[in-house]
Amino acid sequence: MQILDPTDERVPVRRSLTDRPDAIAGTVALLDIAKARGDVLIDQLEKRLTARLPGVAFKHYRKPTFTKPAPADLRRQIAEECGFVIEALAD
Amino acid sequence: MHDTIWFESNRRPAVFIASSEFEQAATAQAEALGLPEVRRIIVPHPIQDATDDEMRAKADAIVDAVVAALAR
**Backbone φ, ψ for residue A27 (5° rounding):** -120, 135
Angle, helix A38-52 to helix B52-70, in steps of 10 degrees: 50
pTM, entire model: 0.93
Residue B26: closest C-alpha in chain A: A90
Model confidence at A67, pLDDT cuts 50, 70, 90, reads very high
Are B19 and A49 in contact (CB < 8 Å)? no
pLDDT reported for residue A3: 73
Q: Do A84 and B48 touch (CB under 8 A)?
A: no
**Residue B24, Cβ neighbours under 10 Å: how many?**
9
Residues in chain B with CB shorter than 8 Å from the CB of A87 are 3-4, 14-17
pLDDT at A1: 77
Whether the Cβ atoms of residue A41 and residue B55 lie closer than 8 Å to each other: yes
DSSP single-letter state for residue B15? E
A33: amino acid identity, one letter: I
Per-residue pLDDT tens digits for A5-62: 666 666 778 899 999 999 999 999 999 999 999 999 999 999 999 999 999 999 999 9
User: A30 in contact with B at a CB cutoff of 8 Å?
Assistant: no
- How close B1 comes to chain A (CA, Å)? 8
φ, ψ at A43 (rounded to 5°): -60, -40
